[in-house]
Amino acid sequence: MRPSRRFFVGITTIAALFAVWAVLTMVTGTVSTGRFPSPLQFWESARQVLTVGYADATLFAHALHSLKLVVMGFLVAIAAGIPLGLLMGWSRRAEAFVNPVFLLIRPIPPLAWIPLAILWLGLGDAAKIMVIFFAAFVPSVINTFTGVRMIEPHIIEAARMLGTGRRRMVREVLVPAASPMIFTGLRLSLQASWTTLVAAELVGALAGLGRVLNVAQQDIYPAMVMVGMAAVGVLGWATTRLLAMIEARAMPWLPARA
Amino acid sequence: MSAIVFESVHRQFERDGKSFPALDNVTLTVADKEFVALVGPSGCGKTTCLRMAAGFEAPSSGRVLVGGVPVTGPGPDRAVVFQQFALFPWKSVEDNIAFGLRNRKVPADERRERIAGAIRLMGLEGYETAFPHQLSGGMQQRVAIARAYVLDPQALLMDEPFGALDAQTRVVMQEELVRLARVNPRTVLFITHAVEEAVYLADRVAIMTRRPGRIKEVIDVRSIRAAEAWDRHERVEDVMDLESFVHLRTHIWRSLREEKVGGER
C-alpha cells in the first residue's frame, strides 16, 4: 500500500473508533459514563490536568518526570548492557564467567525488583531507575551477545587478515556487524523501561504518570485514568519512534525496508 | 626465494574423540611472483592448506612459511580473497579498500593514492561511495581483490574466489586476473575445483589426492604456455580451444578422476 493511502486508512480507522465511542457513551447511552467516560469527559479531564494540574502537578510535569526516569534508566542500562554483550559475544572466557550470574538474574521478572527497590531506595527516583535498569539491561545484553555471535565468520577472518587491532575490531567491525541485533535489543529495552516505570510508579511514587493513574483510581475518576494511559501511550510511541529514526540513521548501508 | 613453503605439513581433525587425518605430508613451494593453483577433489583439504598459509589454522605437524617466516596468525602480509567476498557491508567500496591500509597507519596522502590505483586497476571507478549490497557479485569480488591487492602483500591467497559467480562473470574475472598478473605479478596461491580455471590462470597446477590430502603431482603450465604462445590470445575461450590446453586439461582431469573413483567405496 502507498504510504499516503496507508496514512489515510489509519486516520479513518481512528476516526471511526472515536465516532463509535461518542455514539455509545453520549447518544445511545449503551455504555455508562460512570464506568467508561465519554469523549467530552476525557477532553475535560485532559484540560484539567494540562492547565490546573492533578495529583500535585500538571500533565506536562508528570510526563517530563516519567520521561526523565525512563531515559536515565534506559541509558544507564544500555551503557552497561551493550559493552557486556559485546564482551560475552567476543570472548568465550568472559561468557563462561558472566553467564551463570546472568542465568540467575534473567528469569526474575523486572517487576519483582520493585519491592526491593522501594525498601532500599524509597519512593523516589533512585528506586525507579534501579528497576528500569534491571528491566532494560537484560534485553540489551542478550541481543548484543547474539548479534556478535551471529556475525559471519568470514567477516571476522577478513578483519583479522587485514591486521585489525582490538579497538578497531570492536568499533568498526563488531559493533556495526552486530548493530541490527543491538537495535532490536534497544527496542525491547525501551519497551521494558516504560512497562516497569509505570508499574513502579503505580506501587508508589511522588510524581509521574503512574502516580496520576494511581490517584485517579483512588478518586474513582475513570476519565483521568484514561488521560494518564493516553499520555503513557503517546510518550511510549514517541520514544520508540525516535529510536527508529536513530536506527535508520545509524545503519545507512542496509537496503531500505518497507 | 620461495614465498610460500609447506614443509611436511600434517593436519588431524578431532571428532567424537577420534582423530581423522585431513592432510598427509603436504610439501609444496610457491616461488616469488609465481601463481600456483591447487586443485583436488572436494574435502581433500585444499582450503585447509590456504587457511594455514593465512594463519587461520595451524598444522598438527610440519611448518608453513611465508617469506621465510613461520606463519603464526593472520596478517596483512598475506591477503586473502574469500569465495563469499567477506566485504564489510557497512563500509563503502573505498572504505573497504582503505581498511587494511588504515590498520597499517599508512599516511593519508599515500593511502588516497594507493586506493585510487587499486580502484583503477580493478575497474571500480564511479563506485567509490557505493555500499557492497548495491553491487553485483562480480563487482563485489573486484572490491575484495582490490582490498587484497592494495596491501601489496607478500602472498595473495585466493580461496575459490570465482566459485560464487555466474559463468559469464567468472570468465570476465578470469581474464581480468590474467591481465592483473601481467601488469602486476604477485605470489598467488589459488584454490579451485575448476580444472580449466586452474590451467588458464596458473604457472603451476598442484593436484591433490582425496582425503587425507597429499600433493600428487605438480604440473608446469608456464613452460607450455610460453612454448605454445597462449598469451597471443586475448579471450579465455580461444586459449581453452588450443590443443596444448586441451591436452593439459585432460591430463589433470584423468588424474583427478582416479581420485574420485578411488574415493567411491
Q: What is the pLDDT of residues B4-60, one digit of tens each?
A: 999 999 999 888 888 889 999 999 999 999 999 999 988 889 999 999 999 999 999
Pick from B66, B93, B99 the residue to mutate for testing the A interface (most A CBs within 10 Å): B99
- Percent of chain B residues past pLDDT 90, beyond the cut: 76
A177: chain B residues, CB-CB within 8 Å: 88-90
pLDDT of residue B1: 59
Mark whether B44 and B161 lie in a shared domain: yes
| Mean pLDDT for the stretch of residues B209-238 | 90
pLDDT in tens, A169-202: 999 999 999 999 999 999 999 999 999 999 999 9
Domain's final residue, options B130, B152, B174: B152
The CATH number assigned to the domain holding B41 equals 3.40.50.300
Look up cell 585444499; give the residue: B46
Q: What was the ipTM of the complex prediction?
A: 0.91
Is B198 in contact with B245 (CB distance < 8 Å)?
Answer: no
Q: Is A253 in CB contact (< 8 Å) with chain B?
A: yes
* Residue A169 forms part of a structural domain: yes
* Residue B148 forms part of a structural domain: yes
* Residue B82 forms part of a structural domain: no
Q: What residues make up the domain containing B168?
A: 2-77+153-263
* Residue A65 forms part of a structural domain: yes
State phi, psi for B90 to the nearest 5 degrees.
-90, 0
Mark whether B57 and B180 lie in a shared domain: yes
Domain's final residue, options B152, B183, B199: B152
* Residue B167 forms part of a structural domain: yes
Q: What is the CA B236 to chain-centroid distance, rounded?
A: 18
Mark whether B175 and B253 lie in a shared domain: yes
Q: Is A154 in CB contact (< 8 Å) with chain B?
A: yes
pLDDT of residue A256: 67
- According to DSSP, the β-strands at B215-220 and B204-208 are antiparallel
- Is A155's CB within 8 Å of B74's CB? no
Segment among B52-61, B127-136, B252-261 with least mean pLDDT:
B252-261
* Residue B114 forms part of a structural domain: yes
B73: chain A residues, CB-CB within 8 Å: 160
Nearest Cβ partner for B103 among A165, A251, A255: A165
Q: Measure A45 CA to nearest chain B CA, in Å.
A: 50
Burial of A53 (0-12, 13-18, 19+ CB in 10 A): middle
Q: What residues make up the domain containing A165?
A: 38-250
> Where does the pLDDT of residue B265 fall: very low under 50, low under 70, confident under 90, or very high at 90 and above?
very low
Mark whether B202 and B178 lie in a shared domain: yes
The CATH number assigned to the domain holding A199 equals 1.10.3720.10
pLDDT in tens, A194-211: 999 999 999 888 899 999
* Residue B65 forms part of a structural domain: yes
* Residue B86 forms part of a structural domain: no
pLDDT of residue A255 exceeding 90, the answer is no
| Mean pLDDT for the stretch of residues B156-183 | 90
Number of domains in chain A: 1
Nearest Cβ partner for A161 among B54, B87, B133: B54
pLDDT in tens, A92-142: 999 999 989 888 888 889 899 999 999 999 888 999 999 999 999 999 999
pLDDT of residue A28 exceeding 90, the answer is no
Number of domains in chain B: 2
Mark whether B19 and B105 lie in a shared domain: no
pLDDT of residue A1 exceeding 80, the answer is no
pLDDT in tens, A213-249: 999 999 999 999 999 999 999 999 999 999 999 999 9
pLDDT of residue B262 exceeding 80, the answer is no
> Where does the pLDDT of residue A258 fall: very low under 50, low under 70, confident under 90, or very high at 90 and above?
very low
* Residue B9 forms part of a structural domain: yes
| Mean pLDDT for the stretch of residues A29-50 | 90
Mark whether B236 and B129 lie in a shared domain: no
Map residue B99 onto helix, strand or coil.
Answer: helix
Mark whether B178 and B113 lie in a shared domain: no
| Mean pLDDT for the stretch of residues A55-84 | 95
pLDDT of residue A231: 96
- Is A162's CB within 8 Å of B73's CB? no
Instruction: Give DSSP secondary structure letters for chain A.
Output: --HHHHHHHHHHHHHHHHHHHHIIIIIS--S-TTTS--HHHHHHHHHHHHHT-BTTB-HHHHHHHHHHHHHHHHHHHHHHHHHHHHHHHH-HHHHHHHHHHHHHHTTS-GGGGHHHHHHHHTTSHHHHHHHHHHHHHHHHHHHHHHHHHTS-HHHHHHHHHTT--HHHIIIIIIHHHHHHHHHHHHHHHHHHHHHHHHHHHHHS-SSSHHHHHHHHHHTT-HHHHHHHHHHHHHHHHHHHHHHHHHHHHH-TTSPP--
Mark whether B118 and B148 lie in a shared domain: yes
Rounded mean pLDDT of chain B? Answer: 92
Mark whether B226 and B101 lie in a shared domain: no
* Residue A43 forms part of a structural domain: yes
* Residue B212 forms part of a structural domain: yes
Mark whether B255 and B177 lie in a shared domain: yes
pLDDT of residue B2: 66
> Where does the pLDDT of residue A41 fall: very low under 50, low under 70, confident under 90, or very high at 90 and above?
very high
Q: Is A56 in CB contact (< 8 Å) with chain B?
A: no
